[in-house]
A = this chain, B = another copy of it.
Amino acid sequence: MSAPPHPFGLHRSLDPPGALPQTARRLDATPRALENELAIEVRALSIDSASFRQLRETEASTGEAVRDQIARIVRERGKMQNPVTGSGGMLVGRVREVGPRHPAAGRLAPGDPVASLVSLTLTPLSLDEIRTVHLDTDRVEASGTAILFERTLWARLPGDFPEEVALAVFDVAGAPAAVLRDARPGQTVLVVGTGKAGLLSLAAAREAVGASGRILAVEPSLRSAERARALGFADAVLSVDARDAAAMLEAVQGATEGRLADLVVNVANAAGTEAATILCARDDGAVVFFGMATSFSAAALGAEGLAKPTRLSIGNGFVPGHDETALGLLRRHPALARAFGELASGR
Contact = CB atoms under 8 A, between A and B. Distances in A.
B298 A22 contact: yes
Contacts of A305: 8, 20-22, 118-119, 121-122, 152
A339 interface: no
A313 interface: yes
Contacts of A161: none
Nearest to A6: B246
Contact of A23 (B88, B245, B294): B245
Contacts of A275: 20, 22-23
A299 interface: yes
A292 B18 CA distance: 25
Interface residues of A, number: 59
A301 B245 contact: no
A138 to B, nearest CB: 16
Contacts of A57: none
A314 B316 contact: no
Contacts of A316: 300, 303-304, 308-312
In the complex, the count of this chain's copies comes to: 2
Nearest to A322: B309
A253 to B, nearest CB: 11
Interface in A120-149: 121-122
Contacts of A174: 304
A87 interface: yes
Contacts of A231: none
Q: Which of A117, A246, A306 has the most CB of B within 10 A?
A: A306
A19 interface: yes
Interface string A225-248: 000000000000000000011100
A315 B300 CA distance: 6
B317 A314 contact: no
Given A121-B301, A174-B304, A312 B313 contact: yes
A44 to B, nearest CB: 20
A341 interface: no
B318 A303 contact: yes
A313 B310 contact: no
A312 B313 CA distance: 6
Given A246-B10, A246-B19, A275-B22, A300 B292 contact: yes
Contacts of A299: 296, 314
Interface in A71-93: 85-88
Nearest to A86: B297
A72 to B, nearest CB: 20
A149 to B, nearest CB: 9
A312 B314 contact: yes
Contacts of A340: none
Interface in A131-188: 151-153, 174
A256 to B, nearest CB: 16
22 contacts: A6-B246, A19-B245, A19-B246, A22-B302, A23-B245, A23-B272, A23-B275, A86-B297, A118-B305, A118-B307, A152-B305, A289-B314, A300-B316, A304-B316, A304-B318, A308-B316, A309-B316, A309-B318, A311-B313, A311-B316, A312-B316, A313-B313
